[in-house]
Structure 1
């Protein structure tokens, strides 16, 4: 993209960055709901409810209404959890981007700008692994995807990590972020491990997190 520009975050980017993050995370609500529906525990509960209704009532309308209400409640629950995560994130580092990323050692926050508009963002900060940085908060506006912006943001983080003398980069994605996983694997990231989010609901629905790693010495642009 000839008009694409990757630059460091400025304070007047705050509203755009928060909006891109919020919209990007909200897109995962439908896929998260479908993931839960596919789980054996969820299907067992639905079968038990249907069996109980068929035994106690001959009303097809009641059965349809009950199942519809259960599905609606489930989707609302997923929406609540995602919204809660978004709100928590906005109150944490997104409220202090300059202090968290630009004024802290070995950290940075960039935006992707196309024709004067902020269309993507990414950040990095130190992690618990020695000599590794963590790529985080990457998101690109839906209407601008497929144009190489995410790849450019990944390369920006890799260049920064090399300049700072780090050995590699780590990042985390959820089980429903399949497009992101394909992108990272195409960029040379490899899976390190998978683990389940510690919350009870996440454990019951097998909502896993995948940790990826990128070796800067083995992968050079």
Structure 2
């Protein structure tokens, strides 16, 4: 093989490796698209599939308070299933389940349908002490219990309610130094005015009779 041909083969090989490296950098968990919508945990057991499971904590990393479990649950079976509970094994934490706005009763995953947890107007799963139970950045085991399938467990990513998760987070806890509206604290206009103080004429006098000038009682007595 001539020297010029060998150089051409080498250049083509380097170019191929460079393209392959760039392709690898744009795929998988390190893809730039994760800045828009990150990869989330999912698993399937029987007819149930749990997708996009996360534990979303307070947006401020120092704030304590509730967290929420978000997920989409699919039911590929021919019968409805109830979501009985969501727990965090090893923490003693159990989520309070509430139906979507305007709905009543237990959370149900309809046959051939799905149930969305988290987000405005959807069903919710609230962890009262979320910060104590889950640490941001961890993969927190979460167990979903269904009426027919039973327990479905998967590791859910723990993230603060920022960026993509801003609209899926828990109720925000007021931070120190801030005063929530409607606290009932008196405004400047609510302070007693000068006109609200007792007048001088209302003070007890030496005669002991309110509103009577000093000495007037003695003169009246002397006249008698």
Q: TM-score range by the shorter chain?
A: under 0.3
TM-score, normalised by the number of residues in structure 1: 0.24
Structure of greater Rg:
2
The structure with the greater share of residues assigned to strand is 2
Higher helix share: 1
What TM-score, normalized to structure 2? 0.24
